[in-house]
């Protein structure tokens, strides 16, 4: 049995926050942000939107694209680091919004979340436990950002992407590679809000409820592990970078993407880039890019793509997939 993508969908909030808008909040400007990151604008949830709302809208589009009845979905997996609540899971909220009877759980692997969730969804189907799995990467990063911290507030945005996985006749999953290195946990984390450091007035005053990131170390980490994980999935499949039709990297920084293109001696146009429009949407990054790549005709039936994520955990990994439809 082969397992592949039956449909894709994505959703981003209507509100646009440009670099010029940010220059009115912190000491920065459009040129500074663009040159260092490649980001021009990002989407921001409104006061009534949460991660589950973004995930639900992306899920609706993916189910419609798959041309299946929503009740065929057996399992909902939501990859996110910005859940609506500590409990219940965001996936359970999406299941309810969809009005379906299905198992549901969240998966936390930060910016690598979708790659992890895709692999999990594939495995459930391959094992014969479920037939159709809805895999979503969704984030409302603006909710965990300190808008006075120039090092992080310029980078992140909100959005969600989704895929429906199921049995296919041709193509589908080819390889996966997942890694975690918890020794680097302190380089990217939200210090307070969990059981280790519960929320308190002191934690709020210290802004420990917001994302903290060592940007320089994360950049070095990404450039180091990106080639490793891509080479692993290519090796599993017995192919080379030249055989890949499109690379879909986590949309974090254009300099990282340019470095990887050079490393694999591939033209930059083989790397799908939309971070200029959305910034870093963490677990939403890859599925949004995947949906846009397919809708724009940059991926068609028989094409192979590698999606690579890296982020908090620290985590990283890749999937190699052949388009089935």
Q: Mind telling me the catalytic residues?
A: 111, 250, 280
Structure tokens that stand for 94 in this block: 């999406």
| Size (the chain), residues | 325
Are 292 and 10 spatial neighbours (Cβ–Cβ below 8 Å)?
yes
Dihedrals phi, psi of 202, to nearest 5 degrees: -65, -45
Are 139 and 159 spatial neighbours (Cβ–Cβ below 8 Å)?
yes
The alpha carbon of residue 91 and the mean position of all alpha carbons in its chain are separated, in whole angstroms, by 15
Q: How far apart are CA 299 and CA 238, in angstroms?
A: 21
Beta bridge partners of 213: 188
Cβ contacts of 127 within 8 Å, gap of 6 or more: none
Q: How far apart are CA 56 and CA 263, in angstroms?
A: 37
Residue 204's region, left for phi above 0, alpha for psi from -120 to 50, else beta, is alpha
Are 132 and 166 spatial neighbours (Cβ–Cβ below 8 Å)?
yes
Are 168 and 301 spatial neighbours (Cβ–Cβ below 8 Å)?
no
Q: What is the DSSP string of 237-263?
A: HT--GGG-SEEEE-SS-HHHHHHHHHH
Q: How far apart are CA 262 and CA 253, in angstroms?
A: 15
Tokens 């909710």 locate to 143
On the CB side of 80, CA atoms within 13 Å amount to 34
């Amino acid at each position: 049995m082969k397992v592949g993508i039956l449909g894709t969908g994505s959703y981003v909030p209507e509100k646009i926050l440009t670099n010029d808008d940010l220059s009115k909040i912190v000491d920065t400007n459009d040129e500074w942000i663009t040159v260092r990151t490649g980001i021009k604008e990002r989407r921001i949830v409104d006061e009534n939107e949460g991660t589950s709302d973004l995930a639900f809208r992306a899920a609706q589009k993916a189910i419609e694209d798959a041309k299946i009845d929503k009740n065929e979905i057996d399992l909902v997996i939501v990859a996110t680091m910005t859940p609506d609540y500590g409990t219940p899971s965001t996936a359970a909220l999406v299941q309810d919004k969809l009005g379906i009877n299905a198992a549901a759980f969240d998966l936390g692997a930060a910016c690598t979340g979708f790659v992890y969730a895709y692999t999990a969804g594939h495995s459930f189907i391959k094992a014969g436990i479920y037939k159709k799995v809805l895999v979503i990467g969704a984030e409302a990063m603006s909710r965990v950002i300190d808008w006075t911290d120039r090092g992080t507030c310029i980078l992140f945005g909100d959005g969600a992407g989704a895929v429906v996985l199921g049995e296919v006749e041709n193509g589908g999953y080819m390889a996966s590679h997942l890694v975690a290195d918890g020794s680097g946990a302190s380089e990217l984390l939200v210090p307070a809000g969990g059981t280790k450091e519960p929320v308190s007035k002191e934690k709020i005053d210290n802004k420990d409820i917001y994302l903290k990131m060592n940007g320089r170390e994360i950049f070095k980490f990404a450039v180091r592990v990106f080639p490793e994980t891509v080479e692993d999935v290519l090796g599993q499949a017995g192919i080379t970078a030249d055989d890949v039709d499109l690379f879909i990297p986590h949309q974090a920084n254009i300099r990282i993407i340019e470095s990887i293109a050079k490393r694999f001696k591939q033209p930059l146009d083989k790397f799908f880039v939309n971070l200029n429009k959305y910034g870093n949407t963490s677990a939403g990054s890859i599925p949004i890019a995947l949906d846009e790549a397919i809708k724009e005709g940059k991926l068609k039936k028989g094409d192979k793509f590698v999606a690579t994520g890296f982020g908090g955990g620290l985590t990283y990994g890749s999937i190699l997939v052949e388009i089935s439809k």
